[in-house]
Amino acid sequence: MNENLLKPGIQEFISNKIDTDIVSFLLKKPFFEGVSNKELAQQIISKKKSKTKLPTWYNTPKIYFPDKLHIEQASSETTAQHKANIVSGKSLVDVTGGFGVDTNFFALKMDVVYHSETHQDLSEIAAYNFEVLGRKNVEVISGDGLSFLRESKLRFDWVYLDPSRRNNQNGKVFFLSDCSPNVTEHLDLLFRKSKNVMIKTSPILDISVGIKELRFVKEIHIVSLKNEVKELLWVLQANFDGEIVVKTVNINQQKIDTFNFRLPEEKRAIPNFTAPQKFLYEPNSAILKSGAFSLVAKRYSLSKLQEHSHLYTSNELKIFPGRKFKIEKVWYYSKKAMKIIDFKKANISVRNFPESVDSLRKRFKILEGGESYLFFTTDVNGEKIIIHCKKA
């Protein structure tokens, strides 16, 4: 850390330059003694990246920002708050503390939180920011979190890990065994130190693969922001042998949609299949990730268009955790039909259809946008169809 960056005049300068052109900024003569333009640029870039993702840090005076990569890898405040709502008790160890966003919100729920980070500079930055934010119940350990667990004589109410999903070449990895640390190799240690373990994984990790690789999975949380899956959270409880509960949440500015179920419920659910009726429904991304394709139809009294299409229909408008549309017209898909339809602008989606959105746009010269929605999908008889809708 360069403490010169925390001087009032320099902090004001950083805030005033938040929208500056960084390339031209770096080419100018140094603005301040004891601070390079590169250091100033790092603060400006990382602070700007935090504006929406980490508003508490952005709006708090004298926060010290790390390299932009650490901001990109950090949880958002919204998802960190969700994680904090899962835990309870007195003590928690954040084994892979990073910039400290998750730790900050855990500290609002627990008596003491241990933040461990192997990157010494990042550990120092996090410790400083915890003081600025008033998190006096956070103990910062500069070093390996797993080593801290091995050496500590304490037991903790929770252990939390967010393994790094980048390899030695800084490329992204997705499987648990490729992450650092490889949690699958350290489960015995984790359960010796706590009954409750939470692990954050890549949102594209296959749920069935995660269940096989981990042990004692009690809950799986699928967290989406504005219909984009951001996190998979695995809650493990020592010796748990009950049915796994999947909890999906899609967080928007206006509302939060939740859909929870036990895994065997999906296997038991048998949906009805029918042709498109008056209304069409598309589940949010968290539900689609969960694989509850049959159960969502049963829960909301809907019919599916086809086994693999994952679109739903009804004659009466239902409350539904996803997008809802009024069906205007349905066509069988063909080049001739597309000439007759002749949309200049529309929002296009494909479900269980052999062509991509981009190829359809290019081939039929349809611009993006407008009030019309076109779903290219497959019906109950295996026929390719186009459904023209408008938002319900």
Higher-pLDDT residue of 49 and 254 is: 49
Give this prediction's pTM.
0.92
Q: What was the pLDDT predicted at 171?
A: 53
pLDDT digits (tens, 9 = 90+) for 185-196: 999 999 999 999
Q: Does residue 53 carry a pLDDT above 70? A: yes
Q: What was the pLDDT predicted at 169?
A: 47
Q: What was the pLDDT predicted at 294?
A: 96
Both structure tokens of 386 = 């186009």
* Nearest alpha-carbon partner for 284 in 254, 317, 253, 248: 248
Residue 368 neighbours by CB distance under 10 Å: 10
CA distance 250 to 204: 16
Contact call for residues 89 and 154 (beta carbons, < 8 A): no
Mean pLDDT of the chain: 93
Q: What was the pLDDT predicted at 220?
A: 98
Q: What was the pLDDT predicted at 260?
A: 97
* Nearest alpha-carbon partner for 39 in 21, 65, 77: 65
Q: What was the pLDDT predicted at 391?
A: 95
Q: Does residue 390 carry a pLDDT above 60? A: yes
pLDDT digits (tens, 9 = 90+) for 126-177: 999 999 999 999 999 999 999 999 999 999 999 999 988 765 544 565 678 7
